[in-house]
Amino acid sequence: MVFNRFRILLSTFIRRSNFFYLFLLPNCRALFLNKITFKKRLEIQQHTVCTGKGYVEIGYDCLFGYKIGGFNRRGSIEIQARYDNSRIKIGDNVKTNNNIFLLAANYIEIGDNSLIGQNVTVMDHEAHGIEPHNRNQLGEIGKVIIGLNVWIGNNVVILKNSEIGDNSIVATGAVVSGKFPPNVIIGGVPAKILKSI
């Protein structure tokens, strides 16, 4: 009982102070090297961690996780700019559902006002080599650019060198590899243009 009260008080204190962010962006050398920047009014509704050594920029009014979005309680959001010079740039007013994994060896950009559904993975490299003798090497490294006001549905994977144009929608379940123009709906495995908006 007393412990519970203490816990509630402590969490209120944490939420109202900058400590909030320290709790939510833990085990990260980058945090202490000022490599993570976030502007005002960041709201976090699911456990969120930045785990890499690189740079993470988070814009104004972003929301990570959604309490009533499903799969909220046991999952987490992970933003990993893996190496010293890796960079993840998240624009203003970007909102994500639960269980997101952003993994950059080089560069991932998510444009302002974009919406990201649950169980979405974005990675800018292969993590393993293609040739049989290279499987334990990093493989090809590229980048991923997600435009402004893009809506990414649930259970989408976005692979290296993908670009999604402004206002486009990625239908649920898509595996995206390639460049797509603005104002289209893409979907399928591999993703193709389904229609224009």
Ligand X SMILES: CC(C)(COP(=O)(O)OP(=O)(O)OC[C@H]1O[C@@H](n2cnc3c(N)ncnc32)[C@H](O)[C@@H]1OP(=O)(O)O)[C@@H](O)C(=O)NCCC(=O)NCCS
| Contact set with ligand X (CB under 6 A) | 97, 117-118, 153-154, 169, 171-173, 185, 187-188, 194-195
CA 109 to chain centre: 9
CB nearer to ligand X: give 80 or 118: 118
81 or 120: CB nearest ligand X: 120
Q: Are 53 and 84 in contact (CB under 8 A)?
A: yes
**Cβ-based neighbour number of residue 116 at 10 Å:** 27
Shortest CB 97 distance to ligand X, Å: 4
Nearer to ligand X, 149 or 172 (CB): 172
- Spatial CB neighbours of 126, under 8 Å, sequence gap ≥ 6: 138, 139, 140, 141, 160
**β 192-196/184-187 pair status:** antiparallel
Q: Which is nearer to ligand X, 52 or 147 (CB)?
A: 147
Q: Is 47 marked active-site?
A: no
State the DSSP string of 134-171: GTTS---B-EEEE-TT-EE-SS-EE-TT-EE-TT-EE-
Return all residues near 95 (Cβ < 8 A) that are at least 6 apart.
Answer: 62, 63, 66, 114, 115, 116
Catalytic residues: 128
